[in-house]
Chains A and B, each alone.
Chain A
Amino acid sequence: MVAGSFLPLIVALALAPLMQGVIIRTKSVVAGRQGQPLTQPYWDLWKLLHKGAVYSQTTSWIFQLGPVVWLVSLLLALTLIPFGGFPALSSFSGDFIVVAYLMALGRFSTVLAALDTGSSFEGMGASREVTFSALAEPALLLSFAALARQTERISLSPVLTAISWSAWAHSAPTFSLTLAALLIVLLAENARIPVDDPTTHLELTMIHEVMVLDHSGPDFAMIQYGSALKMWLFAAIIIGVAPPWHRGGPWAETAVSLAGMMVFAIATGLVESSMARLRLLRVPQLLLVAIVLSALAVAL
């Protein structure tokens, strides 16, 4: 089981960029282009890791600490996420609180790094980032509360293992509402359409991407890899909550979950291709919907 307990982490570390590749490829195909190879995100990271760096004269050590803390906090959060049939590397009462707050720490550090540049664009992105995630946080924790109440466990690995067909059959409304809330939180926290457009060419309209304008080289690689891990983390929770399609042992379940992740990535790509971004003023309302959904999920 030693190999098994490391498996969720290893899979995440290895395949998170691939998920980004799948999303990008889906969008290209829908747009009628051939698109980049699925492995392009890995090559991008490789290239960035071997570059030098340019730092702004305005910045201080905070700017250099930002990407490091961002990546470390996401790596640590991933050790708490189970995947497929395998429990997470570490699991204890209240571990999902730690997941939420590790992500808050990551956000804290990137926001400060953005403010360190003194750029008004990056300040703007930072401001939006803290606004939207402050509203996403109650939805995230209430969703966890709904899952905890439903499964009567307060640790992520046991909660996700306890979600079975019979649990779904018994309380499908709760699980589906939680899924919907988590999905909105995922979109907001990961800078996806309809909250944010990671590929826009206008800095004024960006959130996450505009915060990291000044990072370059290895720093930017850490930011990009961290973003991929964060997407993976949320998607893994969502796949864990979704109805379990598997039969058989943990390995089979892992394979099914992996397929689920890729389907999820394709679905994200399809959503991004078929939807426009919301106006920024509408985003808090979307997040409010997430809070209401998760509150309903708890109440049911």
Chain B
Amino acid sequence: MTALLISLLLFGAGAVASLVFARCDRCLRLFGAGGIILGSVCGLVPAIQVALGAVPQSLRIAWDVPYGSFYLRLDALSAFFLVPIFLICALAAIYGTEYLEAYRERKALAPPWFFLNVLTASMAVVVLANNAILFLMAWETMALSSFFLVTFENEKQSTRQAGWTYLVASHFGTAFLLVLFVLLGKSNGSLDFGRFNPASSVGALFLLALVGFGTKAGFVPLHVWLPEAHPAAPSHVSAVMSAVMIKTGIYGLLRILTFLGPMQAWWGWTLCAIGLSSGILGVLLALAQHDLKRLLAYHSVENIGIIALGIGVGIVGLSRDEAFVAVAGFAGALLHVLNHALFKALLFLDAGNIAHATHTREIDRLGGLLKRMPGTGATFLVGAAAISGLPPLNGFISEFLIYLASFKGAVSLGAFGSVPMLATISGLALIGGLAVACFTKAFGIVFLGQPRSECAEHADEPNLAMVAPAFVLAAGCALIGLFGASVVRSLGPLISSVTGLQPLVVAGGLAEAANSVERVALFGAIMIAMAALLSLARTKALARRQVSMGPTWDCGYATPSPRMQYAASSFAQPLTASFRMLLQTREVLTGIEETFPQRAEFHSHTDDPYRSYFFQPLFESITRTMAFLRPLQQGRVQLYVLYIAVALLVLLLWQIA
């Protein structure tokens, strides 16, 4: 615990130092990033130890806040979430030292460093807190510090709008959490996590947690803030938010599940339904996007959906006493938390490199970047294959576990119980197929072919600090892909603490799952070896023959221009057209009318359907119906003082009466 306290203090020191040395650019980079990196390294040690099975540790410091105490506890669940938080934040800090340089002339750089330190510390406290007051304070600090990071480029109207949406959504979620914790603590009069013991209405508590934490995690339809806020933030912050911050929502949900006693089947059904809609809608909306970072943000919705599917399958299995289904489902979900952190951070950092080098995130303006940015391109390819769930990378391992749980459930549960399992199987298959479509589009259009604009033509690889973190993450993706079995086996204590199953039962289930994962990993290793051999054989064979270079065969047309290449929107069009019922893509086409047409235009734009058809009308109608309260707000201090006095008076009278 001492190491964790030191790490929190280092984040604090980094934050303070960022403010003190606001004017010294080198000190900012040194202290701002240094605080995060040192703190993370320091915190990683106990986090990894506990995640691998060491005894949980706790620390309690008395506090004057009513019902509150500074009570930290590092158990298997916290440790599992803490590891990616520290890892990704440290890498993001390294990346940030270089990325923020581009803004040095126009922006003050002290606030982003201050808030990144605060964000890291608050995320760590969120997963460590063992008292509801402390948890909520950290939760709120996390929301606010990330809000200030999102609105870093606040000179842009779109960024301010995104920040506003994020702020509203955050507090919407927190409101549910407040009620949740009050209800949880009511029976015992204590807000310490260990003493929650809800006797009744656990279903209502589950729903409160689902909405409260689901807003942070980005469950459909509460995801609307996510595709706004994540692209608006600086890229290293997007990486932190998408990779680890939204996972605190999953953490919260799992933590609450441990308080609620035996899990009920309908929770699993609900989570499967949410997972399906988040997964499918997320990937479809991603497919329709033109902005690279927005595309990635929608993929976070999709992956959160996959995690929800895993948890849902696990809960259904648990409620039907199918230990293997429960264990493999939870194992898949948890592993996907870690995996998504790795490849999503990787992809956002690479997207940052692209934006940095080309000054655009518009996919259709890019192209041919692989030759200009080889490191970024190679790592993006790894991330793209991993997020599409392809072997031999890590994304496949976690999806495989969820599939395995669902197939086992589909076989062993009756006709009724197997419905969520079969839905999960077909949903995951559709999501997988669409993700392949989406990432062949993202990688293919951005990195392959020829540059589609000036800015892509003159792109250059950024320097080491911006490329190295991506290589570390890519190595992580490959390592989990090849050694996933040992990671799966180490999840034992964690899964038995979440599910309440006997450690032996969990270990048995995990061993069975790890057995298959081991074979999958073996396939991965053989695949890499065979691909290397085959490439070598081809090189040898071609060495003695004539190998020539020529233009691309465009069916007889010898001078194809870059503008004639297939574009991202045309690549995705067959799919977006097939799902137009869900997507509601707006298309503007100025038709060709004259005999010798001069110009024609085509635009397509896909808004978030929930945003434009649900939340916008909802909030507008709220604004309309509440308009009669407007006269109360006159913006004069005296008037507000009067309100306070009147309120006090009324309260006093009420108390006397």
Is A115 in contact with B444, judged by CB distance below 8 angstroms? yes
Q: Would you call A23 an interface residue if the criterion is a C-beta within 8 Å of the partner chain's C-beta atoms?
A: no
In the complex with contacts A115-B448, A140-B429, A54-B555 CB distance below 8 A: no
Is B370 in contact with A101, judged by CB distance below 8 angstroms? no
Stretch from A86-94, A238-246, A260-268 that touches the partner: A86-94
Min C-beta distance of A76 to chain B, whole Å: 6
Q: For residues 512 through 559 of chain B, which have their beta carbon under 8 Å from a beta carbon of chain A?
A: 512, 515-516, 519-520, 523, 526-527, 530-531, 534-535, 538, 541-542, 545-555
Bound state CA distance, A112 and B370, in angstroms?
A: 12
In the complex with contacts A112-B448, A149-B410, A90-B519 CB distance below 8 A: yes
Is B570 in contact with A127, judged by CB distance below 8 angstroms? yes
Number of A-B contacts (CB under 8 A): 252
Stretch from A8-16, A38-46, A103-111, A192-200 that touches the partner: A103-111
Is A284 in contact with B578, judged by CB distance below 8 angstroms? yes
Contact of B549 among A54, A65, A154 (CB under 8 A): A54
Min C-beta distance of A189 to chain B, whole Å: 11
Report the nearest B residue to A80, measured CB to CB.
Answer: B523
Q: Would you call A166 an interface residue if the criterion is a C-beta within 8 Å of the partner chain's C-beta atoms?
A: no
Is A98 in contact with B430, judged by CB distance below 8 angstroms? no
Stretch from B11-19, B73-81, B383-391 that touches the partner: B383-391
Q: Would you call A229 an interface residue if the criterion is a C-beta within 8 Å of the partner chain's C-beta atoms?
A: no
Contact of A112 among B404, B412, B427, B444 (CB under 8 A): B444
Q: Which residues of A contact B21 (CB under 8 A)?
A: none
Q: For residues 365 through 419 of chain B, which have their beta carbon under 8 Å from a beta carbon of chain A?
A: 367-368, 370-371, 381, 385, 388-391, 396, 400, 403-404, 407-408, 410-412, 418
Min C-beta distance of B493 to chain A, whole Å: 24
For A262-300 the 0/1 string (1 means CB < 8 A from B) is: 000000000000000000100010000001000100100
Report the nearest B residue to A152, measured CB to CB.
Answer: B411
In the complex with contacts A108-B436, A119-B552, A217-B542, A138-B523 CB distance below 8 A: no
Is A120 in contact with B542, judged by CB distance below 8 angstroms? no
Min C-beta distance of B547 to chain A, whole Å: 5
Q: Would you call A73 an interface residue if the criterion is a C-beta within 8 Å of the partner chain's C-beta atoms?
A: yes
For A196-215 the 0/1 string (1 means CB < 8 A from B) is: 00000001000000000110
Is A73 in contact with B527, judged by CB distance below 8 angstroms? yes
Report the nearest B residue to A111, measured CB to CB.
Answer: B440
Is A126 in contact with B448, judged by CB distance below 8 angstroms? no
Is A118 in contact with B437, judged by CB distance below 8 angstroms? no
Report the nearest A residue to B539, measured CB to CB.
Answer: A64
Q: Would you call B1 an interface residue if the criterion is a C-beta within 8 Å of the partner chain's C-beta atoms?
A: no
Q: Which residues of B contact A213 (CB under 8 A)?
A: 553, 555
Is A137 in contact with B432, judged by CB distance below 8 angstroms? yes
Is B553 in contact with A119, judged by CB distance below 8 angstroms? yes
For B411-454 the 0/1 string (1 means CB < 8 A from A) is: 11000001000100111111011101101110111011110000
Is A101 in contact with B389, judged by CB distance below 8 angstroms? yes
Q: Which residues of B contact A98 (CB under 8 A)?
A: 391, 400, 520, 523
Is A58 in contact with B410, judged by CB distance below 8 angstroms? no
Min C-beta distance of B623 to chain A, whole Å: 40
Bound state CA distance, A111 and B437, in angstroms?
A: 9
Is B433 in contact with A136, judged by CB distance below 8 angstroms? yes
Size category of the B interface is 35 or more
Is B443 in contact with A112, judged by CB distance below 8 angstroms? yes
Is B433 in contact with A134, judged by CB distance below 8 angstroms? yes
Min C-beta distance of A285 to chain B, whole Å: 9
Min C-beta distance of B518 to chain A, whole Å: 9
Is A203 in contact with B555, judged by CB distance below 8 angstroms? yes
For A109-148 the 0/1 string (1 means CB < 8 A from B) is: 0011001111111111011101101111110111011001
Min C-beta distance of A173 to chain B, whole Å: 15
Contact of A65 among B367, B445, B512, B535 (CB under 8 A): B535
In the complex with contacts A124-B566, A126-B444, A154-B370 CB distance below 8 A: no
Is A52 in contact with B429, judged by CB distance below 8 angstroms? no
Q: Would you call B575 an interface residue if the criterion is a C-beta within 8 Å of the partner chain's C-beta atoms?
A: yes
Bound state CA distance, A119 and B436, in angstroms?
A: 20
Min C-beta distance of B528 to chain A, whole Å: 9
In the complex with contacts A68-B535, A76-B527, A217-B542, A127-B426 CB distance below 8 A: no
Is B433 in contact with A295, judged by CB distance below 8 angstroms? no
In the complex with contacts A94-B400, A134-B437, A126-B571 CB distance below 8 A: yes
Report the nearest A residue to B522, measured CB to CB.
Answer: A90
Q: Which residues of A contact B261 (CB under 8 A)?
A: none
Interface of chain A: mostly helix, strand, loop or mixed: helix
Is A123 in contact with B429, judged by CB distance below 8 angstroms? no
Q: Which residues of A contact B512 (CB under 8 A)?
A: 93
Report the nearest B residue to A116, measured CB to CB.
Answer: B448
In the complex with contacts A57-B550, A60-B448, A120-B560, A92-B432 CB distance below 8 A: no
Q: Would you call A36 an interface residue if the criterion is a C-beta within 8 Å of the partner chain's C-beta atoms?
A: no
Report the nearest B residue to A114, measured CB to CB.
Answer: B444
Contact of A101 among B390, B426, B549 (CB under 8 A): B390
Report the nearest A residue to B546, measured CB to CB.
Answer: A52
Report the nearest A residue to B393, measured CB to CB.
Answer: A105
Is B430 in contact with A53, judged by CB distance below 8 angstroms? no
Is A56 in contact with B553, judged by CB distance below 8 angstroms? yes
Q: Which residues of A contact B520 (CB under 8 A)?
A: 98
Contact of A214 among B367, B445, B530, B553 (CB under 8 A): B553
Q: Would you call A72 an interface residue if the criterion is a C-beta within 8 Å of the partner chain's C-beta atoms?
A: yes
Bound state CA distance, A102 and B520, in angstroms?
A: 11
Bound state CA distance, A189 and B406, in angstroms?
A: 25
Report the nearest B residue to A291, measured CB to CB.
Answer: B426
Q: Which residues of A contact B578 (CB under 8 A)?
A: 131, 135, 284
Report the nearest A residue to B367, measured CB to CB.
Answer: A118
Q: Which residues of A contact B589 (CB under 8 A)?
A: none
Bound state CA distance, A116 and B412, in angstroms?
A: 46
Min C-beta distance of B607 to chain A, whole Å: 22
Bound state CA distance, A73 and B390, in angstroms?
A: 11
Q: Would you call B258 an interface residue if the criterion is a C-beta within 8 Å of the partner chain's C-beta atoms?
A: no
Is B545 in contact with A51, judged by CB distance below 8 angstroms? yes
Min C-beta distance of B472 to chain A, whole Å: 22
Q: Would you call A49 an interface residue if the criterion is a C-beta within 8 Å of the partner chain's C-beta atoms?
A: yes
Is A127 in contact with B566, judged by CB distance below 8 angstroms? yes
Bound state CA distance, A300 and B440, in angstroms?
A: 36
Give the one of B408, B422, B574 with max A CB within 10 A: B574
Q: Which residues of B contact A137 (CB under 8 A)?
A: 429-430, 432-433
Is B404 in contact with A133, judged by CB distance below 8 angstroms? no
Q: Would you call A55 an interface residue if the criterion is a C-beta within 8 Å of the partner chain's C-beta atoms?
A: yes
Is B574 in contact with A142, judged by CB distance below 8 angstroms? no
Q: Would you call B564 an interface residue if the criterion is a C-beta within 8 Å of the partner chain's C-beta atoms?
A: yes
Q: Would you call A69 an interface residue if the criterion is a C-beta within 8 Å of the partner chain's C-beta atoms?
A: yes
Is B572 in contact with A127, judged by CB distance below 8 angstroms? yes
Report the nearest B residue to A284, measured CB to CB.
Answer: B578
Is B444 in contact with A101, judged by CB distance below 8 angstroms? no
Q: Would you call B573 an interface residue if the criterion is a C-beta within 8 Å of the partner chain's C-beta atoms?
A: yes
Give the one of B396, B541, B554 with max A CB within 10 A: B554
For B259-297 the 0/1 string (1 means CB < 8 A from A) is: 000000000000000000000000000000000000000
Q: Which residues of A contact B553 (CB under 8 A)?
A: 56, 117, 119, 213-214
Report the nearest B residue to A213, measured CB to CB.
Answer: B553
Is A53 in contact with B550, judged by CB distance below 8 angstroms? no
Give the one of A56, A94, A121 with max B CB within 10 A: A94
Min C-beta distance of A1 to chain B, whole Å: 19
Contact of A111 among B427, B444, B546 (CB under 8 A): B444
Given contacts A76-B530, A130-B437, A136-B433, 10 further A-B pairs with CB under 8 A are A53-B545, A53-B548, A75-B530, A117-B552, A124-B566, A152-B411, A154-B407, A218-B538, A222-B534, A295-B422
Could you jot down 10 A-B contacts, CB within 8 Å?
Answer: A58-B551, A73-B527, A76-B527, A105-B385, A108-B385, A121-B554, A126-B444, A140-B429, A149-B411, A152-B412
Chain B interface residues (CB < 8 Å from chain A): 367-368, 370-371, 381, 385, 388-391, 396, 400, 403-404, 407-408, 410-412, 418, 422, 425-430, 432-434, 436-437, 439-441, 443-445, 447-450, 512, 515-516, 519-520, 523, 526-527, 530-531, 534-535, 538, 541-542, 545-555, 560, 562, 564-566, 570-575, 578
Q: Nearest 8 A-B pairs (CB), nearest first?
A: A123-B566, A134-B433, A115-B444, A118-B449, A130-B437, A52-B545, A137-B433, A52-B546
